[in-house]
Structures are given as structure tokens and as C-alpha cells.
Structure 1
């Protein structure tokens, strides 16, 4: 039974890693990044929900007075 020849594995894996590195570098070089990013001013929008229109209180059993 012939044995598996692993002598070329190192150069194959190394060339694959180098190729993937260059491909990712080329992919990332196509994006335009802003030089000085500034924070956006987001206007806070107040949403009205039905439970905010009236006064409500939740009574927990432990907060009730002892009877």
C-alpha cells in the first residue's frame, strides 16, 4: 500500500495563506473610509405608548401591607 506523500503540503498551505491574505487586502482596499469620522447627531424621538398616557402602579404581593 503506497504511503501518502506529504512533502508538498507545507508549500501548498503557505501559498494558500499568502494568496488569501492578498485577496483580503485587495478586497479591503476598494472601500472608501472617511479620514475624520464625526459623530452623528441623532434626534431622540419620543414614542407614545398606551401605558404612558395614564398613571399605573404595579402592586407586588410583598409590597402590600400585612393583614
Structure 2
């Protein structure tokens, strides 16, 4: 039974890793990344509800 020749594996794996790295760099080169994104604050609308202005007493259940 013939032996598996592994002498070229290092070259193949190395070239594959370099190629993948270059392809990845070329892909992310097209994306624009915001350096300092600005946050926008939305104004919260306050709704007037009748129970906010009234004082109500909370009763505990009878024991």
C-alpha cells in the first residue's frame, strides 16, 4: 500500500491561508466604517394620565 505524500501540505496550507487573508482584506475594503457614530436622542412624549396627578392610598389586605 503506498504511503501518503505529505511533503507539499505545508506549502498548500500556507498559500491557502495567505489567499484567504487577501480575499478577506479585499472584501472588507469596500465597507465604510464610521469612526465616531453620533447618537440621536429621541424626545420622549409625556402623556398626561389622570392617575399621575392624584394621590392614591394603597390599602393592605385585612389580616
What corresponds to 2:39 in structure 1? 39
Alignment TM-score, normalising by the size of structure 1: 0.58
5+ residue gaps, structure 2, are 47-60
Return the TM-score normalized by structure 2: 0.61
* Whole-Å separation in 1 of the counterparts to 2:6 and 2:45: 64
More helix by share: 1
- Count of aligned pairs between the two proteins: 48
Unaligned stretches of 5+ in structure 1? 47-64
Moved more, 12-21 or 28-37: 28-37
Q: What is the deviation of 1:44?
A: 5.0
Displacement after TM superposition at 1:33 (Å): 1.5
Map 1:20-35 → 2, pairs under 5 A: 20-35=20-35
Specify the structure having the higher radius of gyration (Cα): 2
Specify the alignment match of 2:17 in structure 1. Answer: 17
Give the SS at the match of 1:36.
Answer: coil
